[in-house]
């Protein structure tokens, strides 16, 4: 506020103050944002405009910053991440601020991260991009399929996802990180969850009362990536009441789910059939796999272990 007030107060004592104020007033009225406000608030008088010039000047400056947004971290507004709004109260023009869409999204992500600890993914995966994928024949096809998904995904309209499988260290998770970053550019929310940690976390959530909130957040994510499924210790509860519930909701709502695994479909089905109570539960595992197969395209990624380099 001090920067804006100083611009206006600098005119004090100047002989042509009135003329400059009139020029500033006319300049303010030419602002598209202010013009729209005045059209919507037809009770605003010329006197109210004159007395509210400081507020109008502040609003114009801040909205122009928003029009040329440099990103949340470099937001030049007085209240970083907040957008101004004009309103009339008691025959005076007033200004208030509300969080912009970028600020709202950041706060939502912080809450999600706080709620679901297994959303944590290493920094190199968070920075993944298709430009950095090695252009070898073993990963080219998988990269092409992943990019096509990222460019064309329509959560809520098309629930088809991907199932990337292959041996340890061939780059499955990196490709998923590239997908998530491409979707981010398109404004699509993506959860990348390390599955073994997630299942452990959900068991703990029963005790602290956060189970339902965590489950709902994962169920409703626009795009969900379950990383390293099959690496977890199998239990009937996590398979049926957690994974099964999530997949059923996402199938009905046409929300894409993507997977990475060391197992192909058949191997994962055998893994899911083992019960922590002993024995196997083939039918229950088959039900889960039918949902996965119906909603994903299977892609084998070959190659050497790149993590050992």
Residues 197 and 286 in one domain: yes
Residues 225 and 221: their CA atoms lie apart, in Å, by 10
Question: For the chain, what is the radius of gyration of the CA atoms?
Answer: 27
pTM: 0.67
CA dihedral sign, ordered 290, 297, 154, 67: positive
Residues 43 and 128 in one domain: no
Taking alpha carbons only, the member of 284, 290, 285, 258 closest to residue 271 is 285
Cα dist from 124 to 167, 171, 305, whole Å: 20, 12, 16
pLDDT in tens, 92-143: 999 999 999 888 888 876 765 554 455 666 777 777 888 887 767 667 888 9
Residues 68 and 153 in one domain: no
pLDDT in tens, 182-201: 888 888 888 899 999 999 99
Task: Please report, for the domain that includes residue 226, its CATH number.
Answer: 3.40.50.300
Cα dist from 293 to 165, 173, 200, 253, whole Å: 13, 19, 25, 16
Residues 39 and 86 in one domain: yes
Domain presence at residue 207: yes
Residues 211 and 93 in one domain: no
Say how many C-beta atoms besides its own lie within 10 A of residue 182's C-beta.
Answer: 20
User: Tokens standing for 21?
Assistant: 């104020």
Given 75, 101, 127, the domain boundary residue is 101
Number of domains in the chain: 2
How large a percentage of the chain has pLDDT more than 90?
Answer: 46
Residues 305 and 309: their CA atoms lie apart, in Å, by 8
Residues 55 and 130 in one domain: no
Residues 122 and 81 in one domain: no
Residues 86 and 213 in one domain: no
How large is the average pLDDT for residues 242-265? 96
What range does the domain containing 78 cover? 15-101
Domain presence at residue 139: yes
């Amino acid at each position: 506020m001090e920067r804006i007030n100083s611009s206006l107060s600098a005119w004090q004592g100047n002989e042509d103050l009135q003329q400059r104020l009139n020029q500033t007033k006319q300049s303010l009225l030419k602002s598209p944002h202010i013009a729209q406000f005045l059209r919507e608030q037809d009770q605003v008088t010329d006197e109210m405009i004159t007395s509210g010039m400081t507020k109008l000047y502040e609003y114009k400056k801040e909205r122009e910053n928003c029009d040329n947004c440099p990103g949340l971290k470099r937001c030049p507004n007085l209240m970083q991440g907040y957008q101004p709004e004009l309103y009339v109260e008691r025959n005076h023009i007033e200004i208030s601020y509300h969080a912009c869409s970028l600020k709202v999204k950041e706060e939502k992500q912080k809450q999600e991260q706080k709620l679901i600890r297994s959303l944590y993914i290493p920094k190199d995966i968070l920075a993944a991009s298709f430009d950095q994928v090695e252009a070898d024949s073993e990963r080219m096809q998988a990269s092409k399929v992943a990019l096509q998904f990222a460019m064309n995904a329509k959560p809520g309209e098309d629930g088809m996802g991907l199932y990337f499988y292959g041996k340890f260290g061939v780059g499955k998770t990196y490709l998923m990180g590239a997908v998530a970053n491409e979707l981010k550019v398109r404004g699509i929310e993506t959860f990348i969850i390390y599955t073994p940690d997630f299942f452990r976390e959900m068991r703990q959530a029963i005790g602290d009362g956060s189970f339902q909130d965590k489950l709902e957040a994962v169920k409703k994510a626009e795009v969900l990536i379950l990383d390293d499924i099959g690496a977890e210790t199998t239990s009937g509860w996590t398979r049926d009441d957690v994974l099964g519930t999530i997949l059923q909701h996402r199938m009905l709502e046409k929300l894409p789910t993507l997977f990475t695994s060391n197992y192909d479909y058949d191997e994962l089905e055998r893994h899911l059939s083992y019960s922590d109570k002993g024995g196997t539960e083939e039918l229950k595992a088959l039900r889960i796999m039918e949902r996965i197969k119906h909603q994903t395209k299977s892609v084998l990624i070959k190659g050497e272990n790149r993590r050992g380099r």
